């Protein structure tokens, strides 16, 4: 595995608020991430160190593609509300106010996801709770370029 991370600047933006369950009409009380945690744990990925919601990070004008993620889980049946989904995860680091937070890029595969899509310039990231982080704040994200390709 390559040890050379690449760093991309990003801005925190509001997402659909389904992952965290904050939106009032969420189909997943408590949020989709909280519901998914036990399923990923059974598959060998422990997400309990992360806040049960995603950071939505715009890296525009850059875009990204998931190349060779560390984890890919196919046909995860985490809800009865829609068919099974594929998910990939890649370790990353979120840098905010010169503090590095071990995090994961969370990538529900669009070909198996029914709703709540992100554009290819928005990274969804699972991170620990970062005090003081707000919509519009600038951060940096460090990724492994063997796993996540950042493009202009």
String of DSSP letters for 13-75 = E---STTTT-STT-SSTT-HHHHHHHHHHHTT---TTS-SS-EEEE-TT-EEEE-S-SEEEEE
How confident is the chain (152 residues) per 10-residue block, as mean pLDDT?
A: 83 77 65 92 97 95 97 94 92 97 96 73 97 97 97 88
Q: Residue 51: inside a domain, yes or no?
A: yes
List the domain range (segments joined by +) for residue 47.
Answer: 6-151
pLDDT at 97: 97
Is residue 102 in a domain? yes
Domain annotation covers residue 11: yes
Number of domains in the chain: 1
Is residue 89 domain-resident? Answer: yes
So what's the pLDDT on residue 1? 45
> Is 143 a member of any domain?
yes
Any domain includes 1: no
Q: CATH number of the domain that 12 lies in? A: 2.40.30.30
């Amino acid at each position: 595995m390559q040890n050379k991370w690449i760093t991309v600047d990003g801005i925190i933006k509001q997402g659909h608020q389904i992952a965290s369950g904050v939106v009032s009409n969420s189909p997943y009380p408590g949020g989709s991430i909280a519901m998914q945690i036990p399923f990923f744990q059974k598959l060998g990925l422990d997400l309990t160190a992360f806040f049960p919601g995603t950071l939505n990070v715009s890296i525009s004008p850059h875009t990204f593609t998931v190349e060779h993620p560390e984890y890919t889980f196919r046909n995860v049946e985490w809800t009865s509300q829609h068919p099974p989904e594929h998910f990939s995860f890649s370790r990353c680091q979120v840098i905010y106010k010169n503090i590095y937070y071990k995090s994961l890029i969370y990538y529900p595969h669009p070909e198996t996801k029914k709703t709540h899509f992100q554009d290819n310039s928005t990274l969804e990231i699972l991170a620990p709770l970062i005090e003081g982080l707000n919509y519009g704040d600038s951060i940096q994200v460090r990724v492994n370029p063997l796993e996540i390709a950042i493009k202009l």
